[in-house]
Structure 1
Amino acid sequence: MRPIALLLPLLLAAPALAERYHLRVEDEGKETIQLVDAAPVGELEGRKLIRLIDVRGKTQEVELSAIAKVEQGHPLPERIERKRLKLRQRLLSNQGKEVSKLLRRYKRTPERERPEVLAELERWPPAARVGPYAKELDDADSEVLVQLALKELPKLKGVDAERPLVKTAVLSKHPKLRARAHYAACQLDKTRTRDYYGQIATLQTLPKRRVRAMEYLAGMGEVAAPSLVFVLEKVEMEINATQVTAGGLRRVPVNLGTRGGAAIDAPIELPEASMLQVKTKVVMHTLREIQGRARAALKSISGEDHGTDGKAWRAWLDRRPQRAEGE
């Protein structure tokens, strides 16, 4: 059985279940076990207490040391789950405000005294620290706090801290910050980072964002193979859809009508046709670039070349020896 301290991030990150908590309770000098069917709302400051909500909607605070074990449960009633999420959002919001205050204090504090402030920051749950650190990366107006965020986010396991790092790696205007954020994200969890890049590369967003995500993904080596195949499959579908759409809209039959005679259907160019063609060229150029990078990376990883055929690469992926995630 894994220690409760290791299980806690998983419990907080997973979809809520009414877990069965075995709580140690002192009763007339004797230790007994109390069973509670509940789900976690969140950790509290100091990280020694956790707030739970039971299946009736009642909350209680429990010392982590009092939890003997946690057993698999069943989904919370929908009404209770909505209440849990609302309580968790409020808790994280309030905690995030306190973390932000400490970050401002950290910035003002002389360097030799900053470890004391950092120790206070670490008293707050990881989930409460992600948002404030993410904001510092977004703003990027304090090198001190940016460095702190890049140093601390990779330590926050199980709370989706990869997301702000990947966002910074793709969106930041500062090349050095992008590179540092990518490195930090890979330090934290290469598999989740890989998956995020794969999703961005296939989103219909700004071309430079897609290409940048693809560049990172292509440089991650063998761990990136599943996402590279996913990208090839999705991009192949998007290319086909783009070609069909552009071809179908370029010339449209329009009933012109005639005087004293039958109507005439004649194909004419739409006013938007030239704009559509330009947009299509930009999209296709981006898709071809992503496709080419994915193919080159897979070729390098596999020693094989299946071109841009997503199905063929999927077959290669499926027959590969299974590897542990992150290898």
Structure 2
Amino acid sequence: MATALEKPPVVAEQTPTAGPRTGFRKYWHLYAAISPFYLLFLAFGLIPVGFSLYLSFHRWDGLGSMEWAGLSQYRYLLSDSDFWSSIGNTVIIWALATFPMIFLAMVTAVMLNSAVRFKNVYRFAYFLPNVTSVVAVAIVFGSVFSTNFGLMNALLQAVGLDQVAWLNTPWGIKVAIATLMTWQWTGYNAIIFLAGLQTIPSELYEAARVDGAGPVETFFRITLPQLRPTLLFVLVVSTVTGLQSFTEAQVLLQNTSNDSTFSGGPGHAGRTMVLYFFQQTFDNNDFGYGAAVAWGIFLVVVLFSIINWRLVQRRGEE
């Protein structure tokens, strides 16, 4: 039983926790240091994206007042045969470019990984096409695929084949654009694959050699499974960039048709989704429908990225 002479227990003094205002005042200089990125993203990223979504529900020629259209432009987009044709062109060009590009990039990465001398020189040489101006390269490729004086037709004639009007036939246009995209991105993705190869433990290859596995079996049993995350990254990035191709077709085909700068050549065979977006927006001055087309492109890119991601993940689970 406590007596009157006993001291009361000492209670530790509670230090008040810093609230949001106190924390902000304490670290305001850190927030100020990172604020330029967020301000620029807000001004040139988030606000334009939000405005494009708002604009897609209106009719606007860029000068007059906006007119509310509701979902009518999206309903027209679903029945627009030109938009669906541009999706078909884009997917074909993407397939013709992406799968050969991934194969060549992986082979190049394996060769670079096994090279002993001049590794940095090879890496620079293969990465150079990615940092070269796409416009300049497209002009060069326009000469390569020229009907009368192009290098491709010269090679065909050298082996006894007939000339091909590359930039005047539907499949020739698609092959020319896909070849340009393959040349541009093979070296970049080879460097990505090379980084993935260098993370594979060498003990796995030593154990495979001890077990008598050959180079082909080692590649499919060790290298390819270990590269699956890298392959997924390359495939998704290639899907996003390939489905948004614009400069390649626009520069290659700008002088092959009198219809429009963004027509995509004869028969609109090279009119990609982004090229169609530019045609509707800047040729037809239909900014509202152009915004709806842009959001349609966004959904197509997201859909194909999810499909590719699921396919690679499912193969990894098998």
Give 1 or 2: higher helix fraction.
2
Q: If you compute each CA radius of gyration, which structure gives the higher value, 1 or 2?
A: 2
What interval of TM-score do these two structures reach, taking the shorter chain for normalisation? Answer: under 0.3
Give 1 or 2: higher strand fraction.
1
With normalisation by structure 1, the TM-score equals 0.22
Q: Which has the higher contact order (CA 8 A, sep 6+)?
A: 2
With normalisation by structure 2, the TM-score equals 0.22
